[in-house]
Amino acid sequence: MALIIIAIIVIVLAAAVMMFAGLKRRSSEKGTGRLSGRTRRTDKQARKISSYTGREFEEQALQVAEPSTELAPEEQELLETAVYIEPDADAVGVTRRQFLNRSVIGLAGFGLAGFGGSVLAFLWPSFSSGFGSKINLGAVSDVKQQIKDNNNFFYVPEGRMWVTEYPVGSIEKARATYSAPELEGMEQGLIALYQKCPHLGCRVPECVSSQWFECPCHGSQYNRVGEKRGGPAPRGLDRFAMLVNNQGEFIVDTGTIIQGPPIGTNTTGQEAEGPNCIGEASE
Ligand code: FES
């Protein structure tokens, strides 16, 4: 409390000192210094002119407009100083008002340009080949070879997907469950699965020993074509739309995610082919 009172006193005293100093300065703002000889002569002449009558003064002004040789050089010089000459804009430079106006307009322009650029960048179509685009994995035979070379599970990181073989012998069963964009790839013996677990989104790894996918987070299990075999997941692994083009290349559209098959779907009948990585499957 005492500190606050001291602070208030100090502030009041400082304000009083500043006010006193201001008054003192204003009272001392009188003309100082000495006038030059030329100024004194000009003043004298001005006093002489100001003693003219109105008519005489107008005549003097007319003579300035139409210079006459009758005026003494000092008179001529004095009267010419009274003529208003439009200042040269270049010489004067930019006024404060112009500067502020230009600053406001410039800043607004910059802001609008930045906003427009951001909107364009957002709307610009993506031609990249990463996740969200169509990814060409090459010839179907090459993809199958990659799968074999990687223990039957081919991981494609840029597409966040697993690619495995779909047994062609099961395709008739599959037609009853899967949609046309899925079947296009499956009929060629391939399936592209989204790596994200439909339970809570963990990345699901392969289990080489069981030849299933087994989620380490809460134990969901899926067979090699992503059909659910155990755990809390609400469905099989989601997958992508697939197609094979005229050149026989396998293309996965990672921008089109198709929900995994419902619980109970088991078109391939694949059982665990060895020990599970996270324990026995349980529905
Ligand atoms: S996130 Fe995979 S089982 Fe829960």
Domains of the chain, by residue range, sit at 42-85, 134-258
pLDDT at 120 over 60: yes
* Spatial distance between the Cα atoms of 42 and 51, rounded to a whole number of angstroms: 14
- Taking the centre of ligand 1 as the mean of its atom positions, its distance from the CA of residue 215, in whole angstroms, is 6
The closest-lying atom of ligand 1 relative to the alpha carbon of residue 202 is: 1
> How high does pLDDT run on average in the chain?
83
Average the pLDDT over 132-158 and give the result.
97
Residue 215 near ligand 1, beta carbon < 6 Å: yes
Contact criterion met (CB below 8 Å) for 265 and 198: no
Question: What pLDDT, on the 0 to 100 scale, is given for residue 153?
Answer: 98
Sheet of 154-156, strand order: 134-139, 249-258, 239-244, 190-194, 161-165, 154-156
Residue 78 class from Cβ within 10 Å (0-12 exposed, 13-18 middle, 19+ buried)? Answer: buried
146 vs 85 pLDDT, higher one: 146
- Phi and psi at residue 240, in whole multiples of 5°? -110, 155
- Over residues 150-191, the pLDDT tens digits come to 999 999 999 999 999 999 999 999 999 999 999 999 999 999
Q: Whose CA is nearest to atom 3 of ligand 1?
A: 218
Residues in the chain: 283
275 vs 40 pLDDT, higher one: 275
pLDDT at 72 over 80: no
Eight-state DSSP code of residue 277: S
Average the pLDDT over 135-144 and give the result.
97
Secondary-structure class of domain 134-258 per CATH: mainly beta
Residue 167 near ligand 1, beta carbon < 6 Å: no
pTM of the model: 0.58
The one-letter amino acid at 32: T
Contact criterion met (CB below 8 Å) for 156 and 137: yes
- Over residues 32-66, the pLDDT tens digits come to 556 677 777 766 665 555 566 777 767 777 776 66
The closest-lying atom of ligand 1 relative to the alpha carbon of residue 200 is: 1
Question: Comparing C-alpha atoms, which of 240, 273, 242 is closest to residue 257?
Answer: 240
Residue 266 near ligand 1, beta carbon < 6 Å: no
Q: Are strands 190-194 and 212-214 parallel, antiparallel or unpaired?
A: unpaired
Locus of tokens 């089109």: 256
- Taking the centre of ligand 1 as the mean of its atom positions, its distance from the CA of residue 179, in whole angstroms, is 25
- Over residues 205-262, the pLDDT tens digits come to 999 999 999 999 999 999 999 999 999 999 999 999 999 999 999 999 999 999 999 9
Residue 202 near ligand 1, beta carbon < 6 Å: yes
Angle between helices 73-81 and 37-50 (to 10 degrees): 80
- Taking the centre of ligand 1 as the mean of its atom positions, its distance from the CA of residue 151, in whole angstroms, is 23
- Taking the centre of ligand 1 as the mean of its atom positions, its distance from the CA of residue 245, in whole angstroms, is 35
Residue 233 near ligand 1, beta carbon < 6 Å: yes
Question: What pLDDT, on the 0 to 100 scale, is given for residue 121?
Answer: 72
Residue 237 class from Cβ within 10 Å (0-12 exposed, 13-18 middle, 19+ buried)? Answer: buried
- Over residues 83-113, the pLDDT tens digits come to 677 776 666 677 778 888 888 888 888 888 8
190 vs 123 pLDDT, higher one: 190
32 vs 198 pLDDT, higher one: 198
Residue 237 near ligand 1, beta carbon < 6 Å: no
C-alpha gyration radius of the chain: 46
Question: Comparing C-alpha atoms, which of 240, 229, 233 is closest to residue 265?
Answer: 229
- Taking the centre of ligand 1 as the mean of its atom positions, its distance from the CA of residue 266, in whole angstroms, is 20
Q: Whose CA is nearest to atom 1 of ligand 1?
A: 200
User: Which run of H or E residues covers position 164?
Assistant: strand 161-165
Nearest 5°: the CA angle 35, 84, 41 is 25
The closest-lying atom of ligand 1 relative to the alpha carbon of residue 219 is: 3
Secondary structure (DSSP) of 21-68: HHHHHHHT----S---HHHHHHHHHHHHHHTS-HHHHHHHHHHHHS--
Question: What pLDDT, on the 0 to 100 scale, is given for residue 37?
Answer: 74
Question: What pLDDT, on the 0 to 100 scale, is given for residue 113?
Answer: 86
- Taking the centre of ligand 1 as the mean of its atom positions, its distance from the CA of residue 219, in whole angstroms, is 6
Locus of tokens 């899926």: 222
* Spatial distance between the Cα atoms of 128 and 116, rounded to a whole number of angstroms: 22
pLDDT at 202 over 60: yes
The closest-lying atom of ligand 1 relative to the alpha carbon of residue 215 is: 2
